[in-house]
Structure 1
Amino acid sequence: MFGRKTQPPTVPHTPAISLDKVPTQLVSLAKAAGTSLEKSGLSGQRAAVYLVVDRSLSMRPYFANGSVQHLADQALGLSVNLDDDGTVPLVLFDSRPYPIVDVRLDRYQGVVAQQHTLHGGDRTMGGTQYTIAMRAVIEHYIASEPADPALVIFQTDGTPQDEEDTRLQLMQASKLPMFWSFVGFGPHKVQFLTDLDKMRGRLLDNASYFHAGAAPTGLADGVVYDGITKEFGQWVPQARAKGLLS
């Protein structure tokens, strides 16, 4: 019929790693992540995926009930689509830095509990200082001499003790090819993250905030992936226009 506009076909997303090389337990996650990437206009996009996890004392129940490990699995499923090295650097933080370890396709089950125990378990969980983790990610990313941008999944359940430093760090990081996707745990939204998402003074909007709630494992994987990737899909062309991406 004359005058009817047809929508361009969705470009199928091709994972960075063939699904036949992915552990069976992660295939459904990888497929759900691929669907979200398609919806966000990120078909064919490549990126290094990082996972930052809050190890403050209030996070104790989320380590205990498997919510943190499930997010690590989801991050790896996303990485399958974006990065062909099959690894997600895991950055734990509280009031101090912890060594970065890789969550890998051949070593991912129970890795969160192992690292938590290695660092003293519940008895050593501290405060909440975002910039410790942010600097660790930035240094690791730059040292890797990357060809692709970084998508940083930054999980937390509360406002940091270093609010002003966090704002400054995010502002400075807006000049780098890095996008920060904040994921909130807990019964209430973190107002600081809502404000951070709208913060002015950056080269471009380099962050988003998705609140997963008090029962993150109860959310469909696709909902979580949509929350993580939606604004990343908006950032990519803006970063390219600013010369941050080739």
Structure 2
Amino acid sequence: MEEKSLSTIDLRKKLVQITLEKKQLTHLTARVGLVLDISGSMRHLYNNGTVQEVVERILAVACKFDDNASLDVWVYDSEFSRLSPATEADFHDYVQKQIISNRSIHKFGYNNEPPVMKDVIKKYTKEEVSSLPVFLVFINDGGVLKSIKKVITEAAVQPIFWQFVGIGHSDFEVLKKLDTMEGRIVDNANFIHIDDIAAISDETLYNLLLNEFPQWIKEATELRILRT
């Protein structure tokens, strides 16, 4: 089982590399983070292995981008937890070991995004200050609080790009408006909607995830949010 998983992550890393070449991002080093919705409506996606698959797919991005090839992970419902990073050495059964079996994690309640978002900002801009950009993937299945707009607007001056991924059949009214939000020095967030994330190919997923990141890198560098 583990040998098969390792070969799968190697294949995904190759697909990420192809995507990075297309986007002209092969030179880029970045920190990579993943925020996972663990509200009640997500329960079945944790139990059926979909969330574990998401971790593995985003870990492949971290392995190509990240300076230490690790993926920072958070989960949240009404509360949030900052977890141990996922790496190639320990990603197998990561969700079962680090999340589902972890009794200290609050699970399957209602969703509240701003606290976990503020912790992401705290980690990357206060606790672990770096000149590297942050590529932050945020998985949610609907019902995002409107107050995330204030957090994203205030975070536009920070070296963090927020890639929101809506999964399932909600309308994602708040997230759909991210690209047209005013009052920011730079567009620092993007939203993609994927009905069934388990059904989409790795290649398609990576192309979608990394679609707007290159433009943000360019604009953030010009505005000296990123310093080369």
Paired residue for 1:238? Answer: 219
Counterpart CA distance in 1 for 2:209 and 2:184 is 20
Paired residue for 2:60? Answer: 77
* TM-score after normalising by structure 1: 0.85
Paired residue for 2:167? Answer: 185
Counterpart CA distance in 2 for 1:40 and 1:209 is 18
Q: Shift of the alpha carbon at 1:232?
A: 0.4
Matched residues, number: 221
* Aligned partner of 1:156 among 140, 152, 157: 140
Within a 5 Å distance, the mapping from 1:113-192 to structure 2 comes to 113-114=96-97, 115-119=99-103, 124-142=107-125, 143-160=127-144, 162-164=145-147, 166-192=148-174
Matched, 1:203 2:182: no
Runs of 4+ in 1 over 3 A off after TM superposition: none
Within a 5 Å distance, the mapping from 1:44-63 to structure 2 comes to 44-63=27-46
The gaps in structure 1 that reach 5 residues or longer are 1-21
Counterpart CA distance in 2 for 1:228 and 1:236 is 14
Counterpart CA distance in 2 for 1:197 and 1:130 is 18
CA distances 1:43-90 after superposition (whole Å, capped 9, x unpaired): 211110000000100011111121111111011100111113121111
Contact 1:128 1:158 survives alignment (8 Å): no
Q: Shift of the alpha carbon at 1:97?
A: 1.7
SS of match in other structure, 2:181? coil
Q: Shift of the alpha carbon at 1:117?
A: 2.4
Contact 1:46 1:148 survives alignment (8 Å): yes
Amino acid at match of 1:144: E
Paired residue for 1:218? Answer: 199
* Aligned partner of 1:86 among 47, 51, 69: 69
Counterpart CA distance in 2 for 1:91 and 1:156 is 12
* TM-score after normalising by structure 2: 0.91
Counterpart CA distance in 2 for 1:72 and 1:147 is 25
The structure that has the greater radius of gyration is: 1
Aligned-residue sequence identity (percent) comes to 27
CA distances 1:108-138 after superposition (whole Å, capped 9, x unpaired): 11111221221378x9411111112111111
Contact 1:189 1:211 survives alignment (8 Å): no
Counterpart CA distance in 2 for 1:137 and 1:147 is 16
Instruction: Name whichever of 112-121 and 63-72 sits farther off.
Output: 112-121
SS of match in other structure, 2:86? strand
Counterpart CA distance in 2 for 1:178 and 1:83 is 14
Counterpart CA distance in 2 for 1:92 and 1:212 is 19
CA distances 1:167-214 after superposition (whole Å, capped 9, x unpaired): 11000110001000001110244121101232111111001111121x
Amino acid at match of 1:139: K
Counterpart CA distance in 2 for 1:140 and 1:100 is 12
Counterpart CA distance in 1 for 2:190 and 2:212 is 6
1:94/1:205 CA distance change after superposition, 3 Å? same
Q: Shift of the alpha carbon at 1:155?
A: 0.3
